[in-house]
Amino acid sequence: MQPLIERLCNGPVLRLDGAFGSVAIQRGWPKKDMPPVTINATDPKQIMGLHQEYIRAGANAVLTTTFGAVFDNLHPYLPEEITSPADVVVFNRNTALRAREAAKQIGVDNTTYVIGSMAPLTQEAAYKDMVAAYLPQAQGLFEAGVDGVVVETAFDPAMFAAAVEAWNQADPNGTVPLGVTASFTTHNEKNNGWFTMYGLSPQGLGWFALGAQAAGRPLAWIGLNCGQGYEGVGYIVRQLNRLSPHVPIWVKPNAGPPVLQGETTTYPDATLTQAYPCMQDALREGADAFGLCCGSNPALMGELYARADVTEGMSDKQL
């Protein structure tokens, strides 16, 4: 059993890191009108420093800052660095290696999991073209030797299926654990259900996991990230657990809903008082990994990590 899967199945609960993009924007790192992912090329030392902040705060899993690191997203902002899919492979490989190096520099590389991040594409396309768009990213992350990879913020089943297929092509022997987490943003009050913007429910994600298992390439975990903040997290985890009781559950919601103040996006609920009950609900319903997404920061994550629920909680999942 791979070390990451063993940790998710046998506990203690995996402590995921916090946000990258919202922290980078708040600290003014991206150059004007450039997305946060470009910082990996323009100021990589800042990225390594942020990884180390989360690790020092108590995280034992960090995501690579490769959210959206595909050709169509990178080339317009980095036209000299990213000229071909081969450059995307190098970009993702180097970014993932820096996460590993960040842990190594502070002596915790043997106890810190590096998880590759793959995100939704910005445009829909034919299925084969989406697979082709994801493949260079998948190859770069695989070459870097990540401990796992997460297709995160999933909302379109066809798109995240394409990401999964691209990863399976990059890792044909299934040596690296792969998980999918969806962004459930729509609440149907009539039946108390939660859905992605494309209508995918927690049950639908569970069915996808069952299908992957039947096809011989089971998902190492499923879960939620981003979404509407803390709202509905316990319910979603419960639904995922009910349909896929043997699949570990990953939880990384936004630190509350974003609030636009002028031209600045803030997260007023990014406090321990608001985040801790969400973490309690998630763990009570069976979450095996917990962190926060947009709006969080190393200080808030450190406060959460210090709670006994995360440091002593044990998973009930067995493969």
Is beta strand 178-182 parallel, antiparallel or unpaired with respect to 186-188? unpaired
In a domain, 319, yes or no: no
CB 71 within 8 A of CB 82: yes
CB 59 within 8 A of CB 291: yes
Q: Could you tell me the two tokens for 221?
A: 């975990």
Name the binding residues for Zn(2+): 226, 293-294
Gyration radius of the chain over CA positions: 18
In a domain, 152, yes or no: yes
* Residue 77: exposure state from Cβ atoms within 10 A (0-12, 13-18, ≥19): middle
Count CA atoms closer than 13 A to 69's CA, side-chain side.
Answer: 33
Helix (H) or strand (E) holding 226: strand 221-226
CB 136 within 8 A of CB 70: yes
145: left (phi over 0), alpha (psi -120 to 50) or beta: left
Q: Would you say residue 191 has pLDDT above 90?
A: no
pLDDT of residue 1: 63
**How many domains is the chain partitioned into structurally?**
1
CATH number of the domain encompassing residue 21: 3.20.20.330
Q: What is the pLDDT of residues 248-286, one digit of tens each?
A: 999 999 999 989 888 788 999 999 999 999 999 999 999
CB 117 within 8 A of CB 50: no
pLDDT of residue 112: 96
Query: Could you give the C-alpha distances from 210 to 5, 188, 242, in angstroms and in order?
Result: 17, 25, 12
Q: Could you tell me the two tokens for 118?
A: 């793959």
Name the binding residues: 226, 293-294
Q: What is the pLDDT of residues 174-190, one digit of tens each?
A: 999 999 999 999 988 76
Q: Could you tell me the two tokens for 175?
A: 């040596």
**Can you give the residue range of the structural domain that contains 114?**
3-312
Q: What is the pLDDT of residues 77-95, one digit of tens each?
A: 999 999 999 999 999 999 9
Distance CA 170, CA 156 (A): 21
Answer whether 0.75 is exceeded by the pTM.
yes
Q: Tokens 């981003």 label which residue?
A: 226
In a domain, 317, yes or no: no
